[in-house]
Amino acid sequence: MEAPIEINDEINLEFCELCARFIKHLYPPPQTRLLVPLPRCKPLPNYILDVINCSGLPACVAITAPPYVYRLKFLKPNGPYESHILFFTTYMLAGRLFSEDEIGVNMWHSICDDYFTTDSLIRAELWLCDTSGWKFEIQPEELVEFYNQLKEHYGSSSQPYPSQFLSIQF
């Protein structure tokens, strides 16, 4: 299988735009009250890139976050969170799983550029862990297949969103 993206120490804006388009399709802006208020944030692709650059974590953390969001869609189709905190929480969790450095919640609060309170990050992380049943393992071949499908279905912003979600399930 062809590698979906080049995994190195840099994640570019193109990758972030792909992830943002996918996440916004899975969880469009909600019409109801949220558990965490919507912050006034940057556009999602720029926010994703800033978080990744600010954290200094390896690229494997960034490429693991979108599959976690995808998994949540199947487990909780109408989750209470919007796209910025969904990405950030899954990224934060991936960072805790894949990084040898322990990053405390106050540091994560700083990394998210203070868009979310420490309490809201803790609630979102607990919701994510509880909803996913604390199952976070993704096999490398599943990750490759996920990104191949992601590029095929969400690679161009000029295309409409696909009528159905990706065929891979974790």
pLDDT value, residue 162: 76
* pLDDT confidence of residue 9: 46
Q: What pLDDT is recorded for position 1?
A: 44
The pLDDT assigned to 4 comes to 46
What whole-number distance in Å separates Cα of residue 114 and Cα of residue 122? 14
In this prediction, residue 7 carries a pLDDT of 45
Give the separation between CA 29 and CA 53, rounded to whole angstroms: 25
Q: Which of 142, 131, 133 lies closest to 170, judged by CA?
A: 142
Report field, pTM of the whole predicted structure over 0.95: no
pLDDT at residue 30, rounded to an integer: 58
| pLDDT score at 40 | 62
pLDDT tens, residue order, the chain (170 aa): 444 444 444 578 888 898 898 888 887 765 544 455 555 668 888 888 888 888 888 888 888 888 988 888 888 877 777 788 888 999 998 888 877 677 787 888 888 877 788 888 888 889 889 988 888 888 888 888 888 888 888 887 777 777 776 777 66
Choose among 135, 17, 119, 8: nearest CA to 66: 17
d(CA 72, CA 155): 21
